[in-house]
Structure 1
Amino acid sequence: MHAYAWPLNWDFVLVPVLIGGYFLGIRNHHATRRRVAAFTAAQVLLLAVLVTPVETIAVHYLLVVHLLQNVVLAEWAPALVLLGIPPALSRVLERSRVVRKATHPLVALPVWLATYFVWHVPRIYDAALDHQHSLLHIEHVTYFVAGCLVWWPIVHGRWPDGIKALYLFAAFVLASPLGLLLALLPHPAYRFYEHAPRLWGLSRLTDQQLAGLTMAVEQAIVFFGAFTVYLSRFLRSEAIAGVYTAGERRR
């Protein structure tokens, strides 16, 4: 297949399903323009990595593009989808025992980490690319679902800012070794990309090193960046509480 071909990827069905479910949900639970914009941005991102040449290059040519696609599916799009859900609708969804249990931090984070690491086991990764009309679809869906789980405690969880900061730091620390490992390996990890046609003058090893660095840097920006936001909120609230307590004692 030509590198810049626009593929017919059945993963795009995820987009109309999400749109239908979203507008059905907000029919009785008002969503602000910002929330609708966040949800819309998620759909644009999904379409950008599933039905454009990004998909073609990802699954036929370059590991770095495939990992960028995975990052969108497992982190960016899920976060934006959840930001698009109004609080009233999230409370309705949390009435489900399954949703409450699945989105608990001690469940959501391990599930997301396991999804990431298992799919990147070389034999499993190669198998998904060898079976692009079945196993690869499962990979993409599980990335998205796991991404929704991992972001739920942050976006809709009623946890203190300190707990959210700790959760994000754990996500950053536990996920970062995967990208660093790929960047530092002295040989190609995946058979599929070892035999894939080259593009943009990237050697097999350079492709893998860029892929690992892309993943590591992206997770540092997203998770460590979010961690600093919630940590600063926590420290600010603690400082305010300390000032209030000191004032009460003077009385």
Structure 2
Amino acid sequence: MEQIMATQNTSSSTTPAAAKRGLAGIDKKIYDAVFNAVMSQRLPPGTKLTEAHFCDLFKVSRTIVRKALQRLAHAHIVELKPNHGATIASPTPEETREIFAARRGIEAAIIPLAIARANKTQIARLRKMAKDEHAAYESGDRATWISMSGEFHIALAELAGNSILQRFLAELVSRCSLIIALYEAPGSVACSHDEHDRLIDVIASGDIPLSLKMMEQHLLAIEAKLNLNDEEDKIDLAEILGLSPI
């Protein structure tokens, strides 16, 4: 099994979400290890994460572990429940449908605003993001690829200039990224950079109706590729995180 720490030693080792929240030191290491393991489909939904186990694996105090787990919960990667500890989030099929329906509505509101404000510089930035996303996919860095795909959509929200829509979309993208990482059917490409390229072309042309249609089809296609069948596998957390058990 590929070790997660090998991924972290690349130039994209610090996830965009972690960087934005100012994680540093060992709590960032824990955050990145879990984040990348989830995004690489090595930590399945429902996996229990005990504080004591993390303390042993990373040789740190419960305080540091709790800080990392709280950050992961804020990003919707884990769920924290009183008296039950932390588990990898397990969005239900119904919740998944609701999340994607909400996202389609938010992105439909964003598209016309983004088109009205788009200029050559901003279109060039979107094209660069799509290119970088493709490079991450081609390199096999699935965690970075999923993150960058979400960042592309958030960049459209930034272009729209509505901070409320941007905040709503950021949460929905975070939830969708988790769902894609957990339930994407093997071998499928959830969010194609080619689709992003075509969407950029239509946005640059100023065609609002076609842009709206393409975005809706894009998001529906992502949802259609999800495999929501329940599967339970025993896992070795130390092996998954690339650490030696005590």
Fold match by TM threshold 0.5: no
TM-score (norm 2): 0.33
Which protein has greater RCO, CA pairs closer than 8 Å, 6+ apart?
2
Which of the pair has more CA radius of gyration?
Answer: 1
TM-score (norm 1): 0.32
